[in-house]
């Protein structure tokens, strides 16, 4: 769904149904509940933080904006899905803080910050481009696919590359 | 009712958030958008929010301009029609 054009109405309907169906485990707290900030049907952003009692956290943020040249259709412009250790906290909101130019621990991260969508796996560096990720279309991952994958990984102890079905070239 | 939250912000509220980031990092939004070295030192979520609120402001301003243009277009049209009607009245007189 993520790579296709959409609208806020359709995206919210999808998010509401996925969120309602999500079983959040007892060792997990939503320190920032999923929140949408819409402008209209073709522009919005969302943020979501989940923290675990073992010191790990998930951050899922997205920003959609009108698709240039297409009337009434929005495109996902910014995405960052992160799972890893809580290294520090942002003093403004006490949520886990991540520095992209640091050495912060990462279990898995998918983002398109500073370069086209790419993967970080088991460490902050390298930034692994889509061309080196076999078996997983990074653009096809949305926040619910990511969060459910992390919850499954924690529940089953299966490696993340097995959960998300990818290999790195 | 969905437990997922939603917030609608006015242009003033969005500008207040952008101003908060400008004060926190002591740079303008233009500097933030163009200085990649600066962004690399910032909290990832601050970068996301600053960009998102800037885009939010742009979209609000774009929509406001659309409404303004449509309004001015309708005012001009009705003024033209009024003039035409007045001219017809003048001719009839």
Q: What global pTM score does this model have?
A: 0.90
Length of chain B: 93
Q: Which tens digits make up the pLDDT trace of B47-80?
A: 999 999 999 999 999 999 989 998 898 887 766 6
Residue A139 has pLDDT above 60, yes or no: yes
CA dist A93 and B19 (Å) reads 17
Please check whether residue B36 touches A, CB under 8 A: yes
CA dist A18 and B33 (Å) reads 34
Length of chain A: 169
Residue pair B53/B20 in contact by the 8 Å Cβ criterion? no
Chain A contact probe: residue of B42, B43, B57 with most A CBs at under 10 A: B43
- The reply to whether residue B52 touches residue A35, judged by beta carbons under 8 angstroms, is no
Please give the pLDDT value at position A2.
Answer: 52
CA dist A96 and A78 (Å) reads 19
Please check whether residue B50 touches A, CB under 8 A: no
Q: Which tens digits make up the pLDDT trace of A66-95?
A: 988 888 899 999 999 999 999 999 999 999
- The reply to whether residue B4 touches residue A36, judged by beta carbons under 8 angstroms, is yes
CA dist B70 and A120 (Å) reads 47
Q: Which two tokens stand for residue A8?
A: 């806020």
Residue A114 has pLDDT above 90, yes or no: no
Please check whether residue B59 touches A, CB under 8 A: yes
> What is the ipTM for the molecules in this complex?
0.93
Which residue of chain A is at minimal alpha-carbon distance from B61?
A39
Query: Could you tell me the end-to-end alpha-carbon distance of chain B, in angstroms, rounded to an integer?
Result: 64
- The reply to whether residue B8 touches residue A65, judged by beta carbons under 8 angstroms, is no
């Amino acid at each position: 769904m993520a790579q296709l054009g959409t609208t806020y109405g359709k995206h919210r309907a999808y998010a509401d149904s996925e969120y309602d169906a999500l079983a959040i485990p007892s060792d997990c707290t939503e320190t920032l509940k999923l929140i949408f900030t819409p402008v209209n049907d073709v522009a919005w952003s969302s943020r979501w933080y989940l923290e675990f009692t073992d010191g790990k956290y998930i951050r899922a943020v997205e920003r959609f904006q009108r698709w240039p040249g297409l009337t009434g259709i929005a495109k996902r412009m910014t995405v960052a899905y992160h799972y890893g250790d809580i290294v520090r906290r942002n003093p403004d909101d006490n949520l886990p803080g991540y520095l992209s130019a640091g050495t912060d621990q990462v279990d898995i991260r998918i983002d398109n910050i500073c370069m086209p969508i790419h993967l970080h796996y088991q460490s902050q560096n390298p930034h692994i481009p889509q061309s080196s990720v076999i078996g997983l279309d990074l653009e096809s991952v949305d926040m619910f696919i990511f969060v459910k994958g992390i919850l499954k990984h924690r529940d089953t102890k299966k490696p993340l590359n097995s959960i998300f079905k990818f290999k790195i070239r | 009712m969905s437990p997922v939250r939603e917030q609608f912000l006015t242009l003033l509220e969005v500008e207040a958030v952008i101003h908060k980031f400008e004060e926190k990092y002591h740079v303008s939004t233009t500097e933030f958008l163009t200085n990649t070295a600066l962004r690399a030192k910032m909290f990832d979520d601050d970068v996301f929010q600053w960009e998102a609120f800037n885009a939010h402001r742009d979209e609000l301003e774009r929509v406001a301009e659309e409404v303004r243009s449509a309004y001015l277009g309708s005012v001009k049209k009705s003024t033209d029609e009024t003039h035409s009607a007045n001219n017809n009245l003048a001719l009839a007189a």
